[in-house]
Amino acid sequence: MQLSDLRESQKARVVRVGGNGALRRRILEMGIVRGTDVYVEKYAPLKDPMELIVKGYHISLRVEEAAQITVEDVR
């Protein structure tokens, strides 16, 4: 599933970071790498962007950027 498919208060683990060039590099520099747990804190009122908690930091990503990240559900 894609990171953009998650609901608020859902947790997942990053399996793959897609994209290319500057976008992929920026996502990796924010700490969103394979094996990292990601928690969806909330969505903006119009569902874009989404706020994530990664390694204790709050990060905002556009939904189209989050669609480049493949995740697996963590129970």
pLDDT digits (tens, 9 = 90+) for 7-65: 999 999 999 999 888 999 999 999 999 999 999 999 999 989 999 999 999 999 999 99
Q: How many domains does the chain have?
A: 1
Residue 37's CB: how many other CB atoms inside 10 A? 13
Q: What is the pTM of this model?
A: 0.89
Number of residues that make up the chain? 75
Amino acid at 66: A
Does the CA dihedral 7-9-13-19 come out positive or negative?
positive
56: CATH: 2.30.30.90
Residue 44: give the domain boundaries: 3-73
pLDDT digits (tens, 9 = 90+) for 13-25: 999 999 888 999 9
Edge to edge, what strands does the sheet with 50-54 contain? Answer: 57-61, 50-54, 37-43, 11-17, 69-73
Q: What pLDDT is stored for residue 75 in this prediction?
A: 74
